[in-house]
Structure 1
Amino acid sequence: MKTKQHIPGHRLLRLPQLAYAFTKKLVIPLVGLMVLLSACKRDPDPAPLDALTARAGDDQQVQVGQVVSIDGSASQAPQNQPFTIQWVMLRKPAKSSATLSSTATIKSTFTPDEVGEYELELTLSSAAGKSTDKVVIVAAVAQPLTIDKDITVKTLLVDRLTNPNLPDYIVPKDLAVKAELTLAPGVVVAFERDVRLSINDNGGILIAQGTPQKKIRFLGVNQTRGYWAGIMLYSKSNVNLMEQVEILHAGSSPMLDNTKMGMALFKGSQIAFKNTLFSQHDGYGLYVYEEAVLREFTANSFTSNAEAGIVLPPESVAKLDAASQFTGANGRNVVEVKGEYLGNNSAQGTVIAWPGFADKTPYRIMRRMQVRSGWKLSPGVIIEVARDVSIIVDETGYLNAVGTPAQRITFTGAAGQAAYWTGILSHSTSNQSRLENADILNAGSTAILSTKRANLALYGNNASLTLRNTRIVGSGGYGVYVGFQATLNTDETATYEGNALANVFIDK
């Protein structure tokens, strides 16, 4: 009988034990594979084409103040099955008051007003059930760029920040423009304390053309009246343009002749202004010096300036338009006129017309003005004259002030009191020299001719003037003085009141 042989170092395994060992070796790798597979997140299966599925759109990163559009148009619903739409703002920054423009349409908008996250949920509901989806909008504030070097190459400034109350660019020190500078619609440039912007004549050009919806703004970093110095234009380029622009908060220090202003146009410079606002300047809004050129002037506004909104030489007045507004809470709601001459002797026959304004703004003549061309005033024009200032009409020129019964033309003193200004002296020999439906008030403060005081004086060989339906009131001397072979053509339609001496004196 054979006995079983034992092999040293080995253990004899019975069949059940062998099966268990094989199974154990197989099961351990399978369990590991199952764990690995279960750890991988599977993408959800695409929704069936006939399922109600809300899709709120992609998350967005935007700027504070930017209008944000949310769109659920990618959502799907079973054909011909009605459903309702509901947007809800689940969360927003603590201080935000932002709201949706619509909560029940597939598209909506809102404007983030604080930095942070805005989470919105879109819910679609039907008889078969409902579906929701969320979108997150992250709003931040971009930082302005600093411009601390002169503009020496052709430059375009773009609108970087959507919020019009925040500056796109900061100017920390005086800046000279020596090349073409263009500002895109919506650009906001803020200036530090006492800083000025100069548009030089050695290649400097300024093109600032905004839109009614995206105005271009020049303002102070601190948005208070008289914070920065202002804009100085020397450039003679005929390309210079400001349209749909706001110039604010300047006049911190004098630019010239101890005078403060928001913007100055110096001799030889030229520019066009259209729909431009000059406001909150500690001085004049716009100062136009003699021989500067207003190429165009349309529908501009002047408000809340410490002095008058605008001051300009006599010849530039003809460029002003009736639609511009000069009476918005300025220190003096007038158009100031400073300059010795209107027209020149070499341009005989030239006519310079001064328009009236829809807001009834008066002109205020600040210095003795000598008229050397035709001077025509539109019906309704009001001329105020500073203390002891006169208007002299040369032999080569004439004054034509023909109003209507409803729109009379007025010459008066700036203070509205008798004998305040010197008066009008005419040497004109033109048959266009005429006053009709006009008022000449409160002159004769000082002698206009020799020792004679008068509201109106005619003097010179062949000098003449026609007077119809005109009131002569409040003279510190004569109403009308006529001397040295001058001729006054008048009738009973002229009226006189409150003159210190004779109403009409003809000195033969």
Structure 2
Amino acid sequence: MKTKYPTPQPIRVQPAFIFTLFPTLRLRLLILLTGLFLATACKEKSQEVTPSGAVTAKAGTDQTVQVGQMVMLDGSGSTDSESKPLTYQWAVLRKPAKSTVTLSEAASFKPTFKPDEVGEYELELTVASPNGKATDKVLVTASVAEPLAISANITVKTTLADRIAHPDLPDYIVTKNIDVSHELTINPGVVIAFERDVRMNVNDNGGLLIARGEAAKKIKFVGVQRTKGYWVGIAHYSGSNANILEHVEVSHAGSRPIFSTTKAALYFSGGSKAQMAIKNTAFTDNDGYGIYVYEGGILREFTENGFRNNTEAGILLDAANVEKLDYFSTFNGNNGRDVVEVTPSNLKNGDEITWSGFADKAPYRINGELNINTGWKLKPGVTLEMNRDAVIRINTSGYLSAIGTTKDKVVFTSADGSAAYWRGIICYSADPKTVLENAEVRNAGGNIIVSAKKANIAVWGTKATMNIKNTKISGSGGYGVMVGYGSSVNTDLTTANIFESNTQGNVLIEK
């Protein structure tokens, strides 16, 4: 017989009972829980950073300046009590409604800006370090000084200073015609505005104009109203070799003729042999020419000047001054005529005179009669545009050397591009250096050049000679080439050149 055992029941033990029954276990459990609590507390404390230092922002003192004046802010007074490195950030909180200023290097401790409008500029500096951050504000108030009036002649040594920081606002206003009869020095940055129909005369009886600006601080001669033809211009009679315009702008002149019937922003007198050096100077928005150099005036130096938006050509000058013009000056700038315009005049220096081309490819424009009484060399790429009935005379004491290349020819042509427009080239010279090679002579023969004949080129007179090769001769209202009695040309004239569209024939050789 099998013995039956009762089904075993699970024993339910309460925690308190365990602690009661097993005091040692209770002690160990308490120690374990305490350790866990302490470990957690230490971990939480290690994640907390309680800074012991302090940051102070100082944006500097308030400033009162002129519009256009450079303002330097200064946050260098900001500190961290533990000398920890600081970062800087500036912001413009408030400025005049039309202002467009921004800060240069806004993340530096000394940024700069130039106020561009009258009013208040409020700026905020924020500095930060591992110890925290702080802010401070500074106020900059910008105003404009009133220009001074110039209404009397300059009879003592005078210097005009840059009074107003804004580069476009006038420091001085010329209210009436003035004569400069002593030394006048104009400092960099000066702006002189002229009232309606006012002019300045730099006289030869002690007058001297020294206007030497800087690339970043140009001197400006402008109209009170910035419109073409508002004031007359500068008439220059002084023969001093110290006269200079450098880093200057001359604008808005030409309200009336400055000499005879000609309008120009700057006029050089020939009678007094006025002279001046002109460098890095711009003649813009004038009603007339930018510069007019009358025969006898002297361009002492001419370097990297520019002419834009003038009603006539940028410059009008006599033939003797052309060689002073430099390659990098620009004459092609939306002027009435983008040319270098040459008055009827004479080349008579004993040495060979050279005319070069320009980087902007501006041509020469010849008005009237050009007499060559010395050596005249035209470099490859030079173009001469001839006005109606203009003529070039190579006289017995002169010669013409016009030698181009197959790529850069020397070109003589009509000003308007039409045939039979100007008179032509006539050579009286027996000098064997008179040469046309790799050239073009177009559209002459508009009027009689010699002996009731019309021609693009005439070689005339006893022993007169010219060597013509690899040249295109076209568009004549008469002959291409005419050779008079006793004159000579190279024997291969007809085969060594190209003739085209010459009304009366290509070559006439009188025998």
Q: TM-score, normalised by structure 1?
A: 0.87
Q: Distance in 2 between matches of 1:470 and 1:287?
A: 34
Q: Which amino acid aligns with 1:298?
A: T
CA contact (8 A) 2:398 2:431 kept: yes
Instruction: State the partner residue of 2:76.
Output: 73
Q: Distance in 2 between matches of 1:357 and 1:99?
A: 40
Distance 1:381 1:490, change over 3 A: farther
1:130 equivalent in alignment to 2:133: yes
CA contact (8 A) 1:87 1:120 kept: yes
Instruction: State the partner residue of 1:100.
Output: 103
Q: Which amino acid aligns with 1:100?
A: L
Distance 1:92 1:435, change over 3 A: same
CA contact (8 A) 2:66 2:144 kept: yes
Q: Which amino acid aligns with 1:319?
A: K
Q: Which amino acid aligns with 1:269?
A: A
Deviations 1:110-168 (A, max 9, x none): 22222222222222223433333222111111111111111111111111111111011
**What secondary structure does 1:325 align onto?**
coil
Bigger-Rg structure (1/2): 2
Instruction: State the partner residue of 1:195.
Output: 198
Identify which of 59, 62, 66 aligns with 2:65. Answer: 62
Q: Which runs of structure 2 are paired with 1:188-267 in the superposition (5 Å)?
A: 188-267=191-270
Instruction: State the partner residue of 2:167.
Output: 164
Instruction: State the partner residue of 2:275.
Output: 270
Tell me which moved more, 106-115 or 175-184.
106-115
Tell me which moved more, 491-500 or 430-439.
491-500
1:147 equivalent in alignment to 2:146: no
Q: Distance in 1 between matches of 2:249 and 2:486?
A: 55
Instruction: State the partner residue of 2:23.
Output: none
Q: Distance in 2 between matches of 1:311 and 1:211?
A: 26
CA contact (8 A) 1:466 1:490 kept: no
Q: Which runs of structure 2 are paired with 1:364-375 in the superposition (5 Å)?
A: 364-375=365-376
**What secondary structure does 2:433 align onto?**
coil
Q: Distance in 1 between matches of 2:96 and 2:392?
A: 66
Q: State the shift of 1:73 in Å.
A: 1.3
Instruction: State the partner residue of 1:313.
Output: 318
**What secondary structure does 1:392 align onto?**
strand
Instruction: State the partner residue of 2:45.
Output: none
Q: State the shift of 1:391 in Å.
A: 1.0
CA contact (8 A) 2:434 2:466 kept: yes
**What secondary structure does 1:410 align onto?**
strand
Deviations 1:348-400 (A, max 9, x none): xx211111111111111101111111111011000111111211111111111
Q: State the shift of 1:80 in Å.
A: 5.9
**What secondary structure does 1:89 align onto?**
strand
CA contact (8 A) 2:392 2:426 kept: yes
Instruction: State the partner residue of 2:391.
Output: 390
Q: Which amino acid aligns with 2:264?
A: M
Q: Distance in 2 between matches of 1:103 and 1:464?
A: 74
Q: Distance in 2 between matches of 1:315 and 1:180?
A: 28
Q: State the shift of 1:338 in Å.
A: 0.7
Q: State the shift of 1:98 in Å.
A: 2.7
**What secondary structure does 1:328 align onto?**
coil
CA contact (8 A) 1:456 1:479 kept: yes
CA contact (8 A) 1:365 1:383 kept: yes
Q: Distance in 2 between matches of 1:257 and 1:114?
A: 43
1:331 equivalent in alignment to 2:301: no
Q: State the shift of 1:312 in Å.
A: 0.6
Identify which of 109, 113, 116 aligns with 1:113. Answer: 116
CA contact (8 A) 2:238 2:275 kept: yes
1:500 equivalent in alignment to 2:471: no
Q: State the shift of 1:242 in Å.
A: 0.4
**What secondary structure does 2:496 align onto?**
coil
Q: Which amino acid aligns with 1:190?
A: A
Q: Distance in 1 between matches of 2:248 and 2:113?
A: 27
Tell me which moved more, 382-391 or 433-442.
382-391
**What secondary structure does 1:186 align onto?**
coil
1:91 equivalent in alignment to 2:94: yes
**What secondary structure does 1:412 align onto?**
strand
1:341 equivalent in alignment to 2:346: yes
Q: State the shift of 1:221 in Å.
A: 0.4
Deviations 1:155-207 (A, max 9, x none): 11111111111011100110111110011111100000000011011100000
1:281 equivalent in alignment to 2:281: no
Unaligned runs of 5+ in 2: 1-51
Q: Which runs of 4+ in 1 moved over 4 A?
A: none
Q: Which runs of structure 2 are paired with 1:177-188 in the superposition (5 Å)?
A: 177-188=180-191
Q: Distance in 1 between matches of 2:76 and 2:357?
A: 56
Distance 1:260 1:436, change over 3 A: same
CA contact (8 A) 1:468 1:490 kept: no
CA contact (8 A) 2:292 2:317 kept: yes
Q: Distance in 2 between matches of 1:396 and 1:88?
A: 74
Tell me which moved more, 96-105 or 245-254.
96-105
Q: Distance in 2 between matches of 1:209 and 1:271?
A: 12
Percent sequence identity is 54
Q: State the shift of 1:230 in Å.
A: 0.2
Deviations 1:452-479 (A, max 9, x none): 1110010111111111110100111111
Tell me which moved more, 103-112 or 394-403.
103-112
Instruction: State the partner residue of 2:467.
Output: 466
Instruction: State the partner residue of 2:435.
Output: 434
Q: Distance in 2 between matches of 1:388 and 1:138?
A: 64
Q: State the shift of 1:450 in Å.
A: 1.2
CA contact (8 A) 1:290 1:339 kept: no
Deviations 1:281-310 (A, max 9, x none): 111110000100110011111111111111
Q: State the shift of 1:96 in Å.
A: 3.0
Q: Distance in 1 between matches of 2:346 and 2:321?
A: 11
Q: State the shift of 1:419 in Å.
A: 0.6
Distance 1:465 1:94, change over 3 A: closer
Distance 1:97 1:395, change over 3 A: closer
Tell me which moved more, 59-68 or 97-106.
97-106
**What secondary structure does 1:254 align onto?**
coil
Q: State the shift of 1:50 in Å.
A: 6.4
CA contact (8 A) 2:479 2:507 kept: yes
Q: State the shift of 1:51 in Å.
A: 4.1
Q: TM-score, normalised by structure 2?
A: 0.87
**What secondary structure does 1:163 align onto?**
coil
Instruction: State the partner residue of 1:33.
Output: none
Q: Distance in 1 between matches of 2:145 and 2:174?
A: 17
Q: Which runs of structure 2 are paired with 1:442-481 in the superposition (5 Å)?
A: 442-481=443-482
